[in-house]
Amino acid sequence: MNGSFDILMVGIGGQGTILASNILGEACLIEGRHVKGAETHGMAQRGGSVESHIRIDGLFGPLIPPGQADLMISFDLLEALRYSHYLKKEGRLVVNNHLVLPTSVYTQKLVAPTEDEIIAALKKHTLCLLDADKMASDAGSPLSQNVVMLGAASGSIPLKPESLLEAVRRLVPKKTVEINTKAFEMGREFGGICR
Amino acid sequence: MERKYLLGNEAIAHACVESGVDFVSGYPGTPSSEVIDVLRTQPDRSYYLEWSVNEKVALENALAAAWCGIRALCTMKHVGLNVAADPLMTSAYTGVTGGLVIMSADDPFAHSSQNEQDTRCFAKFARVPCLDPASVQEAHDMIPSAFRLSEEFGLPVIFRPTTRICHSKGDVALGEVVPSTRKGEFHKDPRQYVVIPAHTRILHKKLNEKQPAIKKRLVELGYNQFEIRGKTAVIASGIAASYVQELLPDGVSFMKIGAYPIDEEWLGAFVNKHEKVLVIEELAPEVEEVVRQVAGCVPVFGKKNGYGSYEGELSPPAVAAILVKAGLLPANPFPSVDPVQNLPLRPPILCAGCLHRSAAYAIKKVFKDSIYPSDIGCYTLGLQMGVVDTTICMGASITVASGIAHSGDPRDILCTIGDSTFLHTGIQGLLNAVYNGANMTVVILDNRITAMTGHQPNPNTGQTACGVESPHVSLDALCRACGVHFVESVDPFDITGMMHVLEGAKKRKGVKVIIAKQMCVISARRAGVKRGRYQVDADACTGCGNCVRFGCPAIVFADEKAQINDLCSGCAVCVQICPVGAIGREGKR
Ligand code: SF4
Ligand code: SF4
């Protein structure tokens, strides 16, 4: 069987999950490890719900079966709940404490769970909740939110933090290396105490 | 060898450069688009490259290049191959001299497509080889040999990755780039290139005679291979082979099919060494049918007897379930888990400030109880606003509209089509509707880009795929040249103005065309257009919800009042919708 470490990253199209997945992939290359992944491209990127599978040491297919992810990183509370069945019982969940309601809630008057209800439901897993928007702004740019999230999750990822940081430096735009390094470290520090 | 973490399509593009491709054409379509998007942005390009106006045009261009002896790549999504079917079928007869690889990306589960057709069936129909990769690495490695195979047999080769290859990622070992030294030259040979009946009968025979050697070659090349480990066997193709390899117990033989046509003799020898054979593949039972032909009395399990589905895509749990059902696994290692129920879905939506939303709003106001044929593009999301009654394939909004117009339904007919789709296959429909005297209104949603597939330029953009300025195309003049008298251009952000023109069209008979022009929000942002944001004056807002129902994702409702968040791109349409004037520019009250 596959001895991979499986990470599912979810969010809303446009939130930067693709860059985060590239950073993880690059870090695997830096350590000379195999990696497989699959992600949503195309139409769903227009504000739809998106998922990105990353299998560190993966040798075969790119898809993580439901119930098998070791770690889930979610950029949105509702998306965390939508995909939470992908997580193993003992899996860890790192979630941005932020809720964007789908527009259908307003246009079709659908009922959405409240933030508190979502958090209560997510608590059956090991949950690390963080305000990545704010931490990213503190680091210097709200756009570094995805790197904050990676930093916060990094303690559970079987890759050296130096490799992840190196991957961040290689992949973010040159001008933002400093901001993103800071974002990663802030996330990592927070992730260390919230688990 | 260099290793990189790449998207399947990036790896495919790189392999084309490694193969010294000389000529690239295609039409964007998910999941195929990134191949040309990567190739067109390479710094030192040694190949000719174009986004063509449709797939038929793209394939005919690429075919001509291959006739000139150079290597050509033509990319499209599976349904694009329907558009290109005409040249495809006969290009198998004429053959090629330079390598011609046709990438037709399939989309099992129809993640972003109108159907789940299987390109392997098309390849069989045309009698050309078809390669079906099982992983990103294999997709990369297949490209150079696809070109060689095409040159060896003088036939176009179809390369058929699926969404789970195109949009998968992996650490890929790349090869060396070998720049091309080929120069295109057309050698006249009417018996080859002029398919009059006398010639084509001979060409057809030659095509059929090539088949046995192709089958043998595909086995020699290692695309189709097996390992005998026991009395039971699993045969899997494409990505399904990767899932099977992850799960296959010891002592079960495994055959992987990565290329078609399959050598029946070779396959039969394998099958007959076993007491039971299970076939696992996505979509059509292409492999299974051949296995059944050669199996004799060996029992075959496959979708034809309920082991697997004709629809959708496979996944590790789905493959495990088939293995369990066939008695090859004791239990599914992935016990089923239920997702949380009743969460509001988050489907894709039109961007904040998209022209399609405001155009749809104006259309709904003026053409109330009308019939709305529509087409394929971001504006198909207008379904959520009730202005999309039909979509079938590219260009079919205008033709469906004229068909309904001649069928006796008394309601008004208003169809919508994007600029790229109009240039793809919409023009013929318009010409036909005018020629045959239909009564209908056509709204061309002109955002000057092929937005949905990732913002590729088209002739209406004024720029080629490689960023070279191109001659101006006038949609207005095109429509007039087709014989339309009522052609009006409007700004869809000016709701009153657009409604006024729609009313004018509604009153008239014949074919009326309204061109709604505004840049796509995303390309406008990339071009540096800044419009400033809007905000709601909480004191003035009565909480009527009109603006929220408009559906712009920048408008949210909290504490019985509307609010505008930072997604706002400043189209100012909500300002016109608010009945009490509560919405104004940010910073001004
Ligand atoms: S990408 Fe452009 S055309 Fe598509 S929904 Fe967004 S603004 Fe509209
Ligand atoms: S101006 Fe209004 S309708 Fe336009 S993008 Fe902003 S909030 Fe949406």
Rg (alpha carbons) of chain B, rounded to whole number:
27
A1 pLDDT tier (thresholds 50, 70, 90): very low
Interface contact flag, B245 A22, Cβ < 8 Å: no
Which atom of ligand 1 is nearest the CA belonging to B357? 8
Q: Which of B53, B112, B21 is nearest to B478 (CA)?
A: B53
Q: What residue numbers bound the domain in which A170 lies?
A: 5-194
pLDDT for res B513? 98
Cα B461 to middle of ligand 1, angstroms: 15
Alpha helices for B367-494 (secondary structure H)? 396-405, 419-421, 427-435, 475-481
Predicted confidence pLDDT, tens digits, chain B (589 residues) = 789 999 999 999 999 999 999 999 999 999 999 999 999 999 889 999 999 999 999 999 999 999 999 999 999 999 999 999 999 999 999 999 999 999 999 999 999 999 999 999 999 999 999 999 999 999 999 999 999 999 999 999 999 999 999 999 999 999 999 889 999 999 999 999 999 999 999 999 999 999 999 999 999 999 999 999 999 999 999 999 999 999 999 999 999 999 999 999 999 999 999 999 999 999 999 999 999 999 999 999 999 999 999 999 999 999 999 999 999 999 999 988 999 999 999 999 999 999 999 999 999 999 999 999 999 999 999 998 999 999 999 999 999 999 999 999 999 999 999 999 999 999 999 999 999 999 999 999 999 999 999 999 999 999 999 999 999 999 999 999 999 999 999 999 999 999 999 999 999 999 999 999 999 999 999 999 989 999 999 999 999 999 999 999 999 998 899 999 989 999 999 999 999 999 999 876 5
Cis ω before B261 (30° cut-off from 0): yes
Report yes or no: B563 at the A interface, CB cutoff 8 Å.
Answer: no
**CA gap B524, B119 in Å, rounded:** 36
Q: How far apart are CA B232 and CA B273, in angstroms?
A: 9
Confidence (pLDDT) at A15 = 87
CB neighbour class for A116 (10 Å; exposed up to 12, middle 13-18, buried from 19): exposed
Residue B30: exposure state from Cβ atoms within 10 A (0-12, 13-18, ≥19): buried
Q: Which residues of A touch B245 (CB under 8 A)?
A: 60
- Beta-carbon contacts of B238 under 8 Å, excluding residues fewer than 6 positions away, are B132, B133, B134, B160, B162, B165, B257, B258, B281, B282
The DSSP bridge partners found for residue B44 are none
Q: What is the value of ipTM here, to two decimals?
A: 0.95
The single-letter code of the amino acid at A138 is D
Considering only CB atoms, which chain A residues are within 8 Å of B351? 46-47
- Å between A38 CA and nearest CA of chain B: 4
Q: Which of B30, B381, B445, B452 to mutate to test the pocket of ligand 1 (most atoms within 8 A of CB)?
A: B452
Rounded Cα–Cα distance for residues B208 and B530 (Å): 60
Q: What kind and span of H or E run contains A151?
A: helix A145-153
Handedness of CA B164, B166, B169, B172 (dihedral sign): positive
Ligand nearest to the CA of B569: 2
| Residue of chain A whose alpha carbon sits nearest to that of B320 | A65
The total number of residues shown for chain B amounts to 589
Distance CA B231, CA B274 (A): 5
Mutation for B interface: A12, A30, A41, most B CBs within 10 A:
A41
Instruction: Give me the CATH number covering residue A27.
Output: 3.40.920.10
Residue A185: pLDDT above 50? yes
How many structural domains are present in chain A? 1
Mutate which of A15, A33, A60 to test chain B, going by most B C-beta atoms within 10 A? Answer: A60
| pLDDT tens column, A30-74 | 999 999 999 988 777 788 999 999 999 998 889 999 999 999 999
Q: Token pair of B235, please? A: 């045969």
A16 C-alpha to center of ligand 1: Å? 18
Are B346 and A104 an interchain contact pair (Cβ–Cβ within 8 Å)?
A: yes
Q: Are B74 and B62 in contact (CB under 8 A)?
A: yes
Nearest CA in chain B to A167: B5
Which residues does a 6 A CB cutoff place in the pocket of ligand 2?
B 352-353, 534, 552, 554-555, 564, 568-574
Q: How many Å apart are CA B416 and CA B437, to the nearest integer?
A: 19
Structure-token pair, residue B24: 């690239």
Element (H, E) at A128: strand A126-130
Cβ pair B505, B484 in contact under 8 A: no
Contact indicator for B572, B534 with CB cutoff of 8 Å: yes
Domains of chain B (ranges, CATH numbers): 3-220 (3.40.50.970), 225-325 (3.40.50.920), 355-526 (3.40.50.970), 534-585 (3.30.70.20)
Q: Do A46 and B381 touch (CB under 8 A)?
A: yes
Site to probe by mutation for ligand 2, drawn from B534, B535, B547, B566 as the one with most ligand atoms within 8 Å of Cβ, is B534
In our burial notation (b when 16+ CB lie closer than 10 A, e otherwise), range B437-473 reads ebbbbbbbbbbbbbbbbbbbbbbbbebbbeeeeeeeb
Distance CA B431, CA B409 (A): 22
Calculate the CA dihedral of residues A12, A18, A21, A25 and round it to 10 degrees: 170
Contact B19, B144 (CB under 8 A): yes
For position A165, what pLDDT does the model report? 97
pLDDT tens for A131-147 read 999 999 999 999 999 99
Nearest CA-CA partner of B117 in B64, B168, B81, B65:
B81
Q: What is the pTM of this model?
A: 0.96
- Go through chain A and tell me how many residues it has: 195
B340/A82 CB distance under 8 A: yes
CA distance B376 to B356: 13
Q: How far is CA B34 from the centre of its chain?
A: 11
Q: Whose CA is nearest to atom 3 of ligand 1?
A: B520
pLDDT at A41: 83
Which pLDDT score, from 0 to 100, does residue B1 have?
Answer: 74
Ligand 1 center from residue B83 Cα (angstroms): 25
CB atoms within 10 A of CB B368: 9
Look-up of token digits 């997580």 = A87
